[in-house]
Homo-oligomer: A and B are copies of this chain.
């Protein structure tokens, strides 16, 4: 099973390394703007995979080498403008980059599932749908999966329950307009009540991406794991539930924008869109997120 990673930067390489360690993807192609660097990365990973039980072929290539990929993950990005520190600052630059990359991907790998990581991820997932003409089942952004895991980790420290058993979802925008769907949050069949302390964790989780970014200049491990989790659910046809950025199609009155909702991921991509029964406040937060993302989309040239 073949996976192509477009944009082998900090995030793309953590994703590649994670895939190599597990051996689910048996062929990984790295497509970057600097061919020699991508070749160095491919060599280094080739040596690392030799320690594993399952052999994985890793090589550098051009977009055309994505042909035959089950999944193409897009992590390519213009650099974050110094000091700006908001994902939307990347919108125009990356929208332009996608115009260059995505039609070529769609041409050589017309049946692939597309996993968008580049920011602002909701905006670019929407754009990817336009540029590729792919059905919504095959275009997904990592969205609030990474925010959800950060929130669960904080909750886990507070409640002493494994993050995977804390079924709490951050939904909406991967950005300022995200919110915890506390009205449906559960663990072991028990409600996770909506207390001020937990709200505070959620606020902290929302800003964790930027906090990590400020401290180390990027974020790569949690997002790399997020992308790897989605990709392996596709390759192994696992039918896992995850919150992902997908085209919203009427849920809570929202249309024609990409936002994070819980979905089921399997070999066909997004095999099912779930519709949690949010309360009125949450529903409004979702609509607010839709307006915010829409505004960025509308602002693109």
- Check A162 against B238 for contact (C-beta < 8 Å): yes
Interface string of A224-265 (1 = CB under 8 A from B): 111001000000111111110000000000000000001110
Q: How large is the interface on A (under 10, 10 to 19, 20 to 34, 35 or more residues)?
A: 35 or more
**A44 interfacial by beta-carbon distance below 8 Å:** yes
**A18 interfacial by beta-carbon distance below 8 Å:** yes
Interface string of A135-170 (1 = CB under 8 A from B): 000000000001001101100100011111101010
**A197 interfacial by beta-carbon distance below 8 Å:** no
Residues of the B chain whose Cβ atoms lie less than 8 Å from the Cβ of A221: 17, 20, 44-45, 47-48
Q: Given A43-B215, A161-B241, A165-B240, do A189 and B276 touch, yes or no (CB 8 Å)?
A: yes
Residues of the B chain whose Cβ atoms lie less than 8 Å from the Cβ of A184: 186, 189-190
- Check B47 against A190 for contact (C-beta < 8 Å): no
Interface string of A188-209 (1 = CB under 8 A from B): 1111000000000000000010
- Check B216 against A37 for contact (C-beta < 8 Å): yes
Residues of the B chain whose Cβ atoms lie less than 8 Å from the Cβ of A55: 156, 162, 236-239
Cα A229 to Cα B21 with chains together (Å): 13
**A122 interfacial by beta-carbon distance below 8 Å:** no
Residues of the B chain whose Cβ atoms lie less than 8 Å from the Cβ of A243: 188
- Check A216 against B44 for contact (C-beta < 8 Å): yes
- Check B163 against A50 for contact (C-beta < 8 Å): yes
Most buried by B among A165, A208, A272: A165
**A277 interfacial by beta-carbon distance below 8 Å:** yes
**A133 interfacial by beta-carbon distance below 8 Å:** no
A49 CB to closest chain B CB (Å) equals 8
**A127 interfacial by beta-carbon distance below 8 Å:** no
- Check B239 against A156 for contact (C-beta < 8 Å): yes
Cα A240 to Cα B217 with chains together (Å): 34
User: Taking CB as reference atom, which chain B residue is nearest A45?
Assistant: B221
User: Taking CB as reference atom, which chain B residue is nearest A8?
Assistant: B216
Interface string of A42-85 (1 = CB under 8 A from B): 01111110110111000000000000000000000000000000
- Check B167 against A189 for contact (C-beta < 8 Å): yes
**A187 interfacial by beta-carbon distance below 8 Å:** yes
Cα A36 to Cα B188 with chains together (Å): 36
A→B interface (CB under 8 Å):
14, 17-18, 20-21, 23, 36-37, 39-41, 43-48, 50-51, 53-55, 146, 149-150, 152-153, 156, 160-165, 167, 169, 181, 184-191, 208, 211-217, 219-222, 224-226, 229, 236-243, 262-264, 266, 271-272, 274-277
Other contacts beyond A40-B211, A181-B189, A190-B277: 10, CB < 8 A: A44-B221, A47-B153, A51-B226, A55-B156, A161-B241, A161-B264, A167-B167, A188-B264, A190-B262, A190-B276
